[in-house]
Amino acid sequence: MGGKQSKNKKNIEYGSPTTPVKIKINSAYTEHLTSYELACSEDPKLESFDSSLHQRTNRVINKLAASSGVEIKSLSFDSLREVTQCLLDMNQDVVKVILQDKEDIWSNQDLFSLVNMYFDSTAKTMEFCSELQSCLNRARRSQVIIQFAVNHFEEEEDGNNKYEKTLEELKRFTLAGDPFSKEFFALFDSVRNHQVMMLEELHKLKRRLDKKLKNIKTWRRVSNMVFVTAFISVLIFSVVAASVAAPPVVAALAGALAVPVGSVGKWCNSLWTKYEKVVRGQKEIITSIRIGTYVSVKEMDNISVIVRRVEVEIGALLRNAEFAVSEEKEVRIAIDEIKEKLDVFTETVEELGKHANKYCSDVTKARTVILQRIIRYPTGSTTEEATWTETLS
């Protein structure tokens, strides 16, 4: 009788196969568990993991519950092996998912290399800007010389000195030659080709970052797996404790084990949130570099077109000047031709100057924006940066 009462008392206190062990853990993690259930409904892979987890957990708890009628406060080797295997299997599943998506999410060598490439490129671009300004200065000097020639012609037209000063200026003009040197075009091709290559690399990296953002779903899955695995581990350990200890000890043990579990849920959530922030920060930097590089390439194309026009126009002026110098009797005809072309040449040089100033200014602004983004990486952008990038795009 006493043995029967003792057995009944034990069933009431420690639980039986039909009476689940009641541990006050759920209330502390209701929010995390609800989030986990929702994630399972949205993610087939996580749902599959959850199904497997349920099977393992039920199997081990039933195994432990079946041995709860044993009088001695100990577990069979069989039961302990079941518990150990269950915990190992759960952890192995999580590790498997992590290994499938392993990646150092806090650093990005590709981004680092591209940023270095960008600043090397812009340094070369600034060198090109200096060369462009030198060419422009030479073009403007040629413009002034040819204007002097026209002015002298008008002064000497009625004289008898055979256009001495006019021819002198025309000779100076022909000696000045083409303001755009071979070095200018070599540097132009080098800078443009480098920027086009960088645009291609930026496009590839952007695609990888887009993929990473999509893969945050995977990391969310991992975080949920980690949390629920830790939670179930606490539950199983509590059941084990219930099989070998008195209720006060069970409560104390469950409470002690539960302490890290809450932080696991929060830590996992913060992990993928931080990752998303990092990746978005990387993507912002890449977007800024892409905009700056794209604008640079397009502006270089515009400059190239205008430079070719300047070359054509100054070539025509040079031919007329050479004709006037070699055929002094035909100075009037040559000067008339020069007058017709001079205004167009002047306008084209001014247009090139405006494009050159804008180009150099845009390159400087782009470098500044990207430097600011890197300094604050991976935080967001300022209103000023957003306005500028919107203007460029």
pLDDT tens per residue, range 238-247: 556 555 554 4
What mean pLDDT comes out for the span 199-206?
Answer: 81
Residue with the bigger pLDDT between 303 and 62: it is 303
Cα 24-245-265 angle, rounded to 5 deg: 35
Domain boundaries, the chain: 109-216+276-392
**Residue matched to tokens 């890449």:** 286
Long-range contacts of 23-26 (CB under 8 A, 24+ apart): 23/235, 23/238, 23/250, 23/254, 24/251, 24/254, 25/231, 25/234, 25/235, 25/238, 25/254, 25/258, 25/261
The predicted structure's pLDDT at residue 209: 78
Least confident residue range of 68-72, 288-292, 314-318 = 68-72
Q: Is the pLDDT of residue 45 over 80?
A: no
Residue with the bigger pLDDT between 103 and 348: it is 348
- Cα 150 to the chain's mean position, in Å? 57
